[in-house]
Structure 1
Amino acid sequence: MTIKHHFSTALLFCFLLSFAQEKAIDTIYIFDNQLKNSKKFHKIETLNQEDLLKNTTNLSEVLRFQSPVYIKENGRGMVSSPSFRGTTAQQTAFVWNGININSVFLGQGDVNNLNLLGYDQLEVKSGGGSIIYGSGAIGGTIHLNNELSFNKGFHSTLFLEGGSYNTFNSFLKTSYSDDKLSVKVSGNVVKSDNDYEVPEKNYANLNGEYDNRTFNLGAAYKIDSQNRLYWQTQIYDGEQHYPTSEFGTKTKYLSNTFRSLLAWDFNSKKINNSFKVAYLQDDFQYFDNISQPKSSGGSGETYLAKNDFNYFLNNHWAFNLISEYHFDKGEGYQSGITDVSRNAGSVAGLLRWNPTQKFNFEAGVKKDFVEEIVTPILYSFSGKMNVTDWYSFALNVSKNFRYPSFNDLYWQPGGNLDLKPEVSHQAELGNNFKYGNFKLNLTPYYMKIKDMIRWLPTSNGYWSPVNTNNVESYGLESQLDFEKEFGTQKTKLSLGYVYTHSTDTDTDRFLMYVPQHKIFGNATYKYRFAEIFVQGLYNGLTYTTSDETLRDAINPYFVMNAGLNLTFFKNYQIGFKVNNIFDEIYETTAYYPLPKRNYSANLLINF
């Protein structure tokens, strides 16, 4: 499925909705209602549109500079995967409006195939979440949220950006809402020749161009005071050309995604219930020679139904029952995967107790039922205590898992039908301090993963997945935040430090692509119509081989960005940004350097 033929029509529709007066906001609806409960016990990084617009290159850049996640990117805009707390991309769940959207083939998501500006809000949660978000929610979850507002009238946003390497980025979002109906439409196009060079590494990013498009349509309707209907649809069409050497064969990757979600919410004094049905489609094609027919590919589909029932026994006790069923099917091309399918379901119960304003407790248990796979019983316990006005702590203990993907099971040659799910046990203690306008979070954690799935070479000459690794990871996530307004001035500061010790317990060696140290910081100062911001990122030594070879490791690096935004006539903003100010030579994946100093300018209009 592609959106190129419909994109002009969609943008025209956006413009037609953009001329009227605004009203006061009534309510804002976010599809992922469980995330609100998680914020009581977990440190969750919330990034809104103004934060996302500071790193508009791609989602990888946002996560790299504004979250504790390590991003492994095969060159700017190319294949990109996250690492939470020393885990891999397959232990990370991507959650779109409350629905797990990891690939049924790979069991993971590609960060750069999720267009950044297709979402109203991005939230990053470290730690396990399989009770709510299912398979893969071991290291952490990345939440891609869309919002719908009521009683706001018409509102539109237009964003245009041009940058180095012939990069063009455009985004248009428009919405209309009254007290009964809410509609929002948005479209995003980002393309680049991406032909940067790093002479010091004898590297030229040849054949690195990309062209990605996203279209979103959301609607909500209030039936009466207790019942509401919500709908969200997203279409993504992406093309990435993979970098090659001067004499290498040019390759490319095409990805087409369709997601649609319908929700019915019922809310009364004693009962809150949210029923969702969704359809997800993911098609991809790989060309090992762009002038020849595709060499591999696949098409995956998911049909999903999920019900989230909450019953409030009284002001202190609440019971939450979550049931889910999904049917996955896939068909590969040149992979040996002909036509496979899988039925899966789960039932989870959570009990919440809030005896006083100073104490919150939650306990959950879950059982998954996956066709032809034996799954464990999962649990979670969370408690938060407000000790004083300036200090609180939260303890979280959980058991989480990931079951094998279609590739793990059915790829030929090599698929292994005897694989067991990966299982993790973890605990963390979040310490929260407040003093004036300062907030400090210190979260030490411990995690152990059993039966991690790894693809290893066999005596027959091909690779096959086996349950081999046991991984132990412990460390510290910390973040200091400061925000203050005084008169016409506003300042905001965020500084994070992450320590990660993640090893294979069989070899006692560090896992690949897991830096022990990461420091990231963002500072913004605004005076009247002018805003300046700076970003910094330090990454420590990162091993790229399982034997900790130093000559192959990625050396520590420090990268800094800065930008200036000027606002005119209240609704018009012009921005300028310099990426990698100090011309640092760095890479997040071996042999794929990221760009040196580069520039961009943008225009933002709200009307």
Structure 2
Amino acid sequence: MQSRLPVPFRAAAVPSALAVALSALIAPAHAAPDATDLDEVVVTATRTARTQDQTLASVTVIDREQIERLQPLSLPDLLRGLPGISIANNGGPGKATSLFLRGTESDHTLVLIDGLRLGSATTGGASLQDIPVDQIERIEIVRGPFSSLYGADAIGGVIQIFTRRPQTGFAPNASVSVGSFDTLHASAGIAGRSDAGWYSLQAAHVGTEGINAMRTDLSADLDGYYNDSLSLRVGTRVAEAWTLEAHALQANTRNEYDGSFNNLTKGEQRVVGGRARFSPSAAFALTFQLGRTADLSDNFGDFSTTFDTVRELGSVQADIGIEPGLLTLGADWRSDEVATGPEQEPYDVTQRITRGAFAQWQQEFGAHALQLNARHDDDTQFGGHTTGSALWGWELTDSLRLTASAGTAFKAPTFNELYFPNYGNPRLAPEASRSVELGLRGHHDSMNWGLSAFETRVDDLIAYDATLTDDDHPFGQPNNIEEARIRGAEATFDVDVSGWLVRANATWVDPRNEVGRNAGRLLPRRARVTGRLDLDRAFGDFTAGLSVSGAGERYDDVANRNRLGGYGLVDLRLGYVINPAWSVQVTAGNVFDRAYETARFYNQPGRHYLFTVRYRPAR
């Protein structure tokens, strides 16, 4: 049976300088990046480089080719309907977006960009709507509890975004898209690589007049969104054992919206990092990473507010090939600092430091594979927390694999929950979860399929408690008073048949409160049923595609009084390759002009079009 151990730790694997440099582009600082088939490499599920077939966790990968084929208006539009994902959006492009992974809360998914943690320490979530798709090379979505590798927040899973990077020698690219709602997308970049190093520079602009975000807004004004971004990546190989890389992403946004005393937000998403990797042999790799991320938001209106988060991060990881497996040891350090505007009352505490240490063991024995993870985090706000997980795989046949896993995870309280003036509760404990999953996967020639069932129980959920009052909090505070039970199942299928590329998935979840007056009711804004079907085919120089996505009903409140109906959307696309470097594409979204809501009172785009001209020399 073919070995499934990570490629760099097979005895026969002696990677060339070229392979090492290429793999370093795919893997973040905490990966062992020497896999040979880069299209299949997944690093997020183990913090080491493994092929998607080797990975024991439930994983979805989106590459640049898929992004350009689907031509999404935004990152949430790209993620809509993927396995385990339900999305709620407050009124179209650029508006506040919540992503619920496997029925967990919107702040129970950890978001990484090039290995660095992104998001707001005040609200607890990442601004997915502000990450431009033109800057994305690849996305890995890992479903399940992964606090045992990454620390706080990874209850539902981890989404890691890799920014643009060179794949061949000198490779310029450019694209311009125009469409409905006075939409303009423009992107241009240059990239190159050689045996000695690599570089990439990409600039992008997104602008749209948008739609009227809120259906109760009597002025019916258009709420626009604008995003200007720049990404940079440079790297080199030093001597035989060292690789060095630096990367940066900056996105400046302007967003007009409804539903608050403020109606304009200017924001920034910023990621800056560097990494060094020392690998003197195929059986050892030591990786260092330093980085800084920022989520900055200034809100203007009747009352101006500022909510800024700046994170400084560091990590060290050792990957050691020890027969018969792979041992990974590592440590992370993170400082979160928040700031508010001069018109706001400051937080009692504005900084916290988190230190974490983790260990992982990966091994194969016969037809079986095992992954064991353990981690301890120590936080200056809530103290220590220990998590662990175990994943097991059994190859029943050469084309059929059974998997099972169990793990614990936690969510740290946010600064708002702890210290927001006249509201916060500094006595809060982390939310804690325990999850189990059973899966079956098959691959037959050009067909792959998977089935999985899972259950997650979350204890000490933080919710508003009107009984927790004192002199400074006469109306109550947040408290660890709720529990949730989430059960679900996923099915995935993809096949290439008679020239048609078919990808399909469906997810069912049952996320319910377990205690209190809302016991037995569904958690809000999560559709119980979601699914997506993508069909694509080339006809000579022409390409054609169809996407059908849908979501069942959901409720917008914890009491389940405000029901939002289900919906189905159909998108069409048609492309033409003018020559190996130039192509054109037209897409039509929501072609049946379906009116629907994913959050109460907030509109979603009706029928819309986008026309794209793209320049990208053949790789």
TM-score, length-scaled by structure 1 = 0.89
Asked if 2 retains the 8 angstrom alpha-carbon contact of 1:131 and 1:364, the reply is yes
Q: Distance in 1 between matches of 2:218 and 2:491?
A: 36
**Aligned residue for 1:188?**
204
Work out the CA distance in 1 between the residues paired with 2:348 and 2:200.
39
**TM-superposed deviation, 1:160:** 0.8
2: CA distance between counterparts of 1:91 and 1:502?
14
Query: Which residues of 2 match residues 476-491 of structure 1 at below 5 A?
Result: 476-484=489-497, 490-491=499-500
SS of the residue corresponding to residue 451 of structure 1 reads strand
Query: Which position in structure 2 is the counterpart of 1:133?
Result: 150
What SS does structure 1 have at the residue aligned with 2:148?
helix
Match of 1:497 among 477, 499, 506: 506
Give the conservation status (yes or no) of the 8 Å contact 1:571–1:605.
yes
Q: What residue is the counterpart of 1:388 in the other structure?
A: 397
In structure 2, the partner of 1:317 is 325
Pairs within 5 Å for 1:85-484: 85-146=102-163, 148-149=165-166, 152-195=168-211, 206-243=221-258, 251-267=263-279, 268-289=281-302, 295-314=304-323, 316-333=324-341, 334-337=344-347, 340-356=350-366, 358-457=367-466, 462=475, 464-484=477-497
Contact 1:198 1:204 survives alignment (8 Å):
no
Aligned to 1:592: 602
1:331/1:339 contact within 8 Å kept: no
Would the aligned equivalents of 1:55 and 1:61 in 2 still touch at CA under 8 Å? no
Residues in 2 aligned to 1:113 and 1:158: alpha-carbon distance in whole angstroms: 21
- Which residue matches 2:40? none
Once the two structures are superposed, the pairs formed by residues 521-532 of structure 1 within 5 Å of their partners are 521-532=533-544
Kept in 1: contact 2:503–2:533 (CA 8 A): yes
**Residues 89 and 214 (structure 1 numbering): CA distance in 2 closer, same or farther, change over 3 Å?**
same
What residue in structure 1 maps to residue 9 of structure 2?
A: none
Q: 2:118 touches 2:295 (CA, 8 Å); kept in 1?
A: no
Q: Which of 15, 27, 46 does residue 31 from structure 1 map onto?
A: 27
Distance in 2 between the 1:335 and 1:352 partners? 49
RMSD: 2.3
SS in 2 for 1:62: helix
Aligned-residue offset at 1:572: 1.0
Distance in 2, matches of 1:378 and 1:46, equals 26
Aligned residue identity for 2:358: A
Q: CA deviation at 1:27?
A: 2.3
Report the CA distance between 1:55 and its aligned residue: 3.7
Say if 2:546 is the partner of 1:534.
Answer: yes
Give the unaligned 5+ runs of structure 1: 1-22
Name the CA distance, whole Å, in 2 between partners of 1:65 and 1:205: 29
Change (3 A) 1:65 1:500: closer
Identify if the C-alpha distance between structure 1 residues 463 and 169 changes in structure 2 by more than 3 Å, giving closer, same or farther: farther
Q: Deviations over 1:555-582 (max 9, x none)?
A: 1111110010111112111111111111
Would you say the 8 A contact 1:207–1:243 is kept in 2? no
Distance 2:442 2:300 in 1: 52
Q: How many aligned positions are there?
A: 568
Structure 1 CA distance for aligned equivalents of residues 230 and 478 of structure 2: 36
How many angstroms apart in 2 are the aligned matches of 1:198 and 1:238? 20
Q: Percent identity?
A: 17
The answer as to whether partners of 2:352 and 2:379 remain within 8 angstroms in 1 is yes
What's the secondary structure of 1:228's corresponding residue? strand
Sort the Cα spacing of 1:203 and 1:353 in 2 relative to 1 into closer, same or farther, 3 A: farther
- Secondary structure at the aligned position of 2:602 is classed as coil
Aligned-partner SS, 2:149: helix
2-structure distance, mates of 1:336, 1:55 = 43
Q: Decide which moves more: 335-344 or 421-430.
A: 335-344
What is the SS of the residue equivalent to 1:353? strand
The AA in structure 2 aligned to 1:61 is: D
Q: Per-residue deviation at 1:300? A: 2.2
State the SS of the aligned residue for 1:509.
coil
Partner letter of residue 238 of structure 1? Answer: T
CA contact (8 A) 1:66 1:522 kept: no
Gap change, CA 1:532 and 1:204, over 3 Å in 2? farther
Contact 1:30/1:146 (8 A) holds in 2: no
